[in-house]
Amino acid sequence: MSDKLLLTQDMVASNDILNPFIHHLELTTTYDKIRTGFFTIVILPIRLFAIAGLLILAWLLACIGLYGLTQEDLIKHPIVGWRRSVKNIACVITRLIGVVAGFHYIPHKGKRATRNEAPILVMAPHSSFVDALAVVVMGVPAFVSGIENAKMPFLGM
């Protein structure tokens, strides 16, 4: 019966099968512990303040770009003119948030499809926050969300 198993003992690197959704941090040397402590105390707050500042700036730009538009205007017509420029600036700021968070380069393979070839991009099932970065790389085209999210502070309308 053991010779019919699909996964044999020589195919497994260790007796423990690693769960890819759990991060194991092993600080074995004193240098690793000091470095981790330094980055936690000094660099982490700087990154958090930078991310918060950039997020507030992007939110303000979005408020300025959408000022005076009704929900019906947004449904009937695409954003054009100076509002599109504000959207593009907010997109750059959103990419900067990814850089500050530590995502300097998001690799992608192949040729990007045109809007005629693939008019819809679906990012599901949202297994991590990296899904949002893929949408940013695509140029922040549009978002679809539940109506209950419209009442969320800072993220809703």
Show pLDDT as tens, one digit a residue, over the chain (157 residues): 444 444 445 444 555 666 666 777 788 899 999 999 999 999 999 999 999 999 999 999 988 988 888 878 877 887 888 888 898 898 889 888 888 988 776 667 788 778 788 777 666 666 666 666 666 666 655 666 666 766 777 666 5
- To 5 degrees, how large is the angle CA 151–CA 135–CA 81? 80
- Give the contacts of 85 (CB within 8 A, at least 6 positions apart): none
| Closest C-alpha to 118, from 106, 110, 107, 126 | 110
Q: What is the dihedral of CA 59, 94, 151, 77, to 10 degrees?
A: 80
